Every structure is written in structure tokens, then in C-alpha cells.
Amino acid sequence: MTSEESLIESYTLWKDEIDERLKTFENKSKEDVKLEMVFCLCTPQSKAVKCWNAVLELRETSRNIIIDAENVLKKNNVRFCRKKAEYIRKAINEFECFYMWLLAALINAETREDIIYVRNCIAKDIKGYGMKEASHFLRNIGYGDLAILDRHILNVMRELGIVVTGKYLEDERSLFEFSERVGIPMEYLDLVFWKLKTGYIFK
């Protein structure tokens, strides 16, 4: 079981490592943003490392990501590969318009509330995304002040005595309050939780 004391100790111990990881999420190119968008379409109910391996394979070996997506996802044991390939095809076809909107939206985002608004729009407009995937996508392109409520994070929340309702916005608000109370910024808290449950820091 995770306690607040052990969580704070882990944060202190891993902060430098997390700092280095967070730097890799910053200053993404247009192509990087596209890859992160595809990655987060792959992650529901699938292992993140396998999903990223599939994305890298698509980038390196695929002549046409729209055509090859299903086979590559299946090869890398990404679950629901047919449905996710459909989502990828749609997202890639609409990427140019989405990217232009995203740049404008993020330029004008000055507060956490602004980022939450952008996240909510992405969750609504990208087929295959929910709140978790949209939050994950934004964190991976440098906007990490959100909650990525996957099963690892929810399990640690329960261990810490944070009430989990199953309603994303309520549980996110509870995690925001916890983050402020223990003095661990949200972008760090997610990765500390992740490492506690998996033993490593990924994305």
C-alpha cells in the first residue's frame, strides 16, 4: 500500500529522473504531435510500450500509415486493432485541420482552465479519445497539468484514500486538490504514480 509519506519520498527520489522525462515532452514538431496523437489512440486497454513500438514501426517502415495501421497494431499485440486502425485513419485524414486548431488553442491557453477546455474539445472531437486519452496526448506534447486517470493512477488514488467516483471530472478535481495539498505538481504526480505501479517511467 502507498502512503502519503512514501509518495513524497518517492517524488523526492525520482524528481531528477522525471525532470528529464518531462523535457522530452516539450517542443514537439508537427510530426511528433501526429505520432503522439496516434499513440494515444492505441493505448486504451493496451500496454503503453507495445503501443509506442507499433507507432515507431509505422513511422519507420510504413509507406502508408492509413493502410498499414491494422497489421502493425496486430503484430505488436495492440488490442482492438481493427477499431483503432479506423480511428487512426480518420485522425490522420483530419490532422492538418486539427493541428492548425490545436496550435491556435494552445497559444491562447494561459491557465489550467484553458488547458482543460482544450482537452475537453479534443476528447469530444477526436473519435477514439476520451478524457484520459486527450489528457495523455496533451501531456505528451508538453501540457501536463491534467489528470491521466488510467487504472494505475486510480489504484494509487484508492490506496491513498482519495475517493474515486468513476466520474472523470470529479476524480480529476480530487487529484488536483491532493496534488496541491502534498506539494507535488500534477505533471510529476502522474509519473510518480506510474512508476510506483510499473517500476519505470515511460510516457
State the pLDDT at residue 16: 96
Q: Tell me, what's the pLDDT at 62?
A: 67
Question: Which long-range CB contacts under 8 A does 140-144 form with residues at least 24 apart?
Answer: 140/25, 140/28, 140/36, 140/39, 140/40, 140/203, 141/25, 141/28, 141/32, 141/33, 141/36, 142/25, 142/26, 142/27, 142/28, 143/106, 143/109, 143/115, 143/118, 144/22, 144/25, 144/186, 144/187, 144/190
* Catalytic center residues: 132, 150
Task: Give pLDDT tens digits along the chain (203 positions).
Answer: 789 999 999 999 999 999 999 999 999 999 999 999 999 999 999 999 999 999 999 988 766 777 889 999 999 999 999 999 999 999 999 999 999 999 999 999 999 999 999 999 999 999 999 999 999 999 999 999 999 999 889 999 999 999 999 999 999 999 999 999 999 999 999 999 999 988 999 98
Nearest CA-CA partner of 44 in 113, 137, 122: 137
Query: Where in the sequence of the chain do the CATH 1.10.340.30 domains occur?
Result: 30-140
What CATH number belongs to 30-140? 1.10.340.30
Rounded to two decimals, the pTM is 0.94
